[in-house]
Amino acid sequence: MAMERQERLVTLIISNLRASIAYDQESVTVWDDSVVQVRRGEAASDWLDVNLGSWMHTYFGHDGAYVLDPANRPIYAFSVTPTKAQDAYRLIEPVVAPLVKDLRQRLQAGDTSGVGGRMLSPGAADLMVVQGHPAVVSVKPIVSDSGEIDQIPGQEYLHIAVRYLDGNFINDLKQNYLFEGMRFAWQNNAAEGEVGLPLLSDAGSAVGYFIWRPYRPGSAVLSDLTPLLLGVFGLALLTIAVLLYVIHQRSTKLVASEARMEYLALHDALTGLPNRAKFDDALDEALGKLKQSSDSLAVLYLDIDRFKQVNDTMGHPAGDGLIRSFAERLRELARETDTVARIGGDEFVLVVPCRNAGEEIEPLCNRILASVRQPFDIDGNQVFVSVSIGVSVAPADGMERTELTRKADIALYHAKSAGRGRYARFGNAMDSMLQARRQIERDLRVALARKGELAVHYQPLYSASDMSITGVEALLRWKHPQKGWISPAIFVPIAEETGLIEPLGDFVLREACQAASAWPKLTLSVNVSAIELRNPAFAARVAETLVASGIKPQRLELEVTESALSDHAGQCEENMRALRALGIRFALDDFGTGFSSLGRLQDFEVDRIKIDRSFISGFGKAKGDEAIVQAIVDLAHAKGLKTTAEGVETSEQGDYLKDIGCDELQGFLLSQAVPQAEINSLLGLKGKRGVASAA
């Protein structure tokens, strides 16, 4: 019986793995952004890697990820095996081609079998041999989640996920489910005392065998009692009593072992909290009870703000420590009737039964926010983070699990958009706001494709000593044909999230360099996002733009933020090193407001510090901002760096900055950002048509 239970358990685990891989894929394949990015092909390789490739390995343990275009040609490949990316799919194509063909035929025929419940799209999966490994292979179409993108059935881009069943997977089985000596073999070479279970494909053929030494409580009992039976036959009654006792102990141990296996299958290994599957069951059960009462039920989605920064700067062990500590605080705040679960990465969820959601949920959210604001002690370091919370309530927001979780997720997005470190309850207006955001994304794509909507304005920089113009900062402006001027604070974050920031950055740099060719005595400052700096081709694109415009590299100053300088992968540093070799300078923008401190300035290889406007606006108030700015200026000069003060709006601010030695001033007191023609007028170029005015 124990052997049969273990065989059924292994079969169940493999079956669950097939379903979970397909479910993991749908977190990125049922998504408008994925449809848009795969159509860009190799131009979106970084986005594909972050969202459809290496991220699937990091968070879900997939060993391979591939994206095929409608003609079944690979446009992206990721594999943990030591194979060049361009060869990775060619090596597995003969094996996976039948699955791809089957899925395309089903999509073309409109076959939706398997869709429903947790599955949102059709798919094909099987057990097969991939590059010398037994593996689960799952193929999913990349489709629109909103339904607003037209796709031809059977012509969708496909995402292939591969999960090996040897190596780490077997180690997990041994550690988590207590399978003694488990190994994988191509043939059933089980030794005496071992059992071999075939891994069967959908066609019924054996891909290989899992072999292990099964737990045999009966044999163990018999082995223990044989000497007693042979030596003390006369003590039959005592022997029977001992037999019954040992059988009871062994049975108890077997029951405990099975309970442990079931617990591990439904709980997160890092925190011990229920996982997504357990959460789904708990929410369905709670909603079922809610139908019989007049009470309410709240679903709280929680996401740790800027968790990736902790991982990048302190390493993954520190990130794991933060996750465990955060989970413990949630446990302490939750009641016995609440369900606390970790559904992935830094995402948590609470199911809170309540009588009056309006009175009970707000205090709970405030307690969570206040608890997380307290520093976390991670390996002797104090880590400060915040959390954003999205709330939906049943029955007001629905009585179906997927609807409630979707609305809580929308509310979480709005909490983050409002500045993080806060909570938001779902409202019907949020759906409209989300649609408005998507509309801005679509309109921004249109604006990039045609001339006239996007323009570059220039804000002059003045020398603090003689108030002469020393340079200009290029700033992007967007005049929508129906909505008028749209603030960069609205569309730039959307561009960064959707992969549009790189074409926008190219547009600004190209236009600004062309205009600056008519201003030979001025420096040109251009803002660069961390996303652009992480692109290996960024340095080459900047060099090509400089050559095309004819301006000297020494006149260009790229403004970066502290997040780019803290890049864990090092690609930003490589690009900066290459650009500095050309003579291009770098300025650190918004210094003192980010994740780093003044003490880390010595690690930053920049030429100038831009003092954030929040410090300048605090002059004359009881906050000590004057002393902070004085310290920044002194520290910069001690390291041989220049300083520029942003947001100068009064003459008193300008006089003070000049007195403490600030090099340059910038702000509305002197000039706001203006079109190219007005810069020409300021420089006495009015009426002249240089390269810039012609552009």
Strands 195-200 and 206-213: antiparallel
State which CATH number among 3.30.450.20, 3.40.228.10, 3.90.660.10, 3.30.70.380 fits the domain covering 2-173. Answer: 3.30.450.20
pTM: 0.49
Q: Which long-range contacts (CB under 8 A, 24 or more apart) does 612-618 make?
A: 612/646, 612/647, 613/646, 613/647, 613/667, 614/647, 616/645, 616/646, 616/647, 616/648, 616/649, 616/653, 616/657, 616/667, 617/647, 617/649
Q: Got the DSSP string for 490-535?
A: HHHHHHHHHT-HHHHHHHHHHHHHHHHTT-TTSEEEEE--HHHHTS
Q: Which long-range contacts (CB under 8 A, 24 or more apart) does 55-62 make?
A: 55/28, 56/24, 56/25, 56/28, 56/161, 59/344, 59/345, 60/21, 60/24, 61/163, 61/168, 62/21, 62/24, 62/161, 62/162, 62/163
Q: Got the DSSP string for 73-120?
A: -EEEEEESSS--HHHHHHHHHHHHHHHHHHHHHHHHHT--TT-BTTB-
Q: Hey, what amino acid is at 317?
A: P
So what's the pLDDT on residue 240? 93
3-state helix vs strand vs coil in the chain, percent to 5: 50, 20, 30
Angle ∠(195,200,201) on CA atoms, nearest 5? 165
Which ranges of 456-612 would DSSP assign to H, the alpha helix?
488-498, 501-516, 530-533, 538-549, 562-565, 571-582
Q: Hey, what amino acid is at 94?
A: P
Contact 595, 309 (CB under 8 A): yes
Cis peptide before 214 (omega within 30 of 0): no
Residues linked to residue 476 through DSSP beta bridges, in sequence order: 456
Contact 142, 157 (CB under 8 A): yes
CATH code given to domain 276-426: 3.30.70.270
Q: Compute CA 188 distance to the chain's CA centroid, rounded to the nearest angstrom.
A: 42
So what's the pLDDT on residue 692? 32
- Which DSSP symbol is given to 407? H
Which pair of structure tokens corresponds to residue 513? Answer: 């360099």
Q: Got the DSSP string for 4-45?
A: HHHHHHHHHHHHHHHHHHHHHHHHHHB-HHHHHHHHHGGGGH
Strands 423-425 and 387-394: parallel
Q: Hey, what amino acid is at 147?
A: G
Which pair of structure tokens corresponds to residue 56? Answer: 């699937």
Buried b (16+ CB within 10 A) or exposed e, 246-257: beeebeeeeeeb
Angle ∠(111,112,118) on CA atoms, nearest 5? 160
* CA dihedral for 635, 639, 642, 646, sign (positive or negative): negative
- Those residues whose C-beta lies under 8 Å from the C-beta of residue 547, and which sit 6 or more positions away, are none
Superfamily of domain 459-694: EAL domain (3.20.20.450)
Contact 596, 561 (CB under 8 A): no
Q: What is the mean pLDDT of each run of 10 residues along the chain (695 residues)?
A: 82 84 90 93 89 88 92 90 70 91 92 82 92 93 91 94 89 83 90 88 90 78 77 86 87 74 81 91 91 89 87 84 94 92 91 87 93 89 90 90 89 84 85 76 90 93 94 94 88 85 94 94 93 91 94 94 65 89 91 55 78 86 81 90 93 93 94 93 63 30
So what's the pLDDT on residue 193? 81
Dist CA 55 CA 48 (whole Å): 9
- Which DSSP symbol is given to 598? G
List the chain domain ranges: 2-173, 217-266, 276-426, 459-694
Q: How far is CA 92 from CA 20, 81, 86, 135, 349, in A?
A: 22, 12, 12, 11, 38
- Those residues whose C-beta lies under 8 Å from the C-beta of residue 459, and which sit 6 or more positions away, are 472, 473, 475, 666, 671, 672, 673, 674
Angle ∠(644,646,649) on CA atoms, nearest 5? 125
Dist CA 209 CA 196 (whole Å): 6
Burial class (CB in 10 A: 0-12, 13-18, 19+), 61: middle
So what's the pLDDT on residue 72? 93
Dist CA 355 CA 599 (whole Å): 51
Burial class (CB in 10 A: 0-12, 13-18, 19+), 650: middle
Which pair of structure tokens corresponds to residue 593? Answer: 């407001």
Residues linked to residue 389 through DSSP beta bridges, in sequence order: 302, 423
DSSP element (H, E) containing 397: none
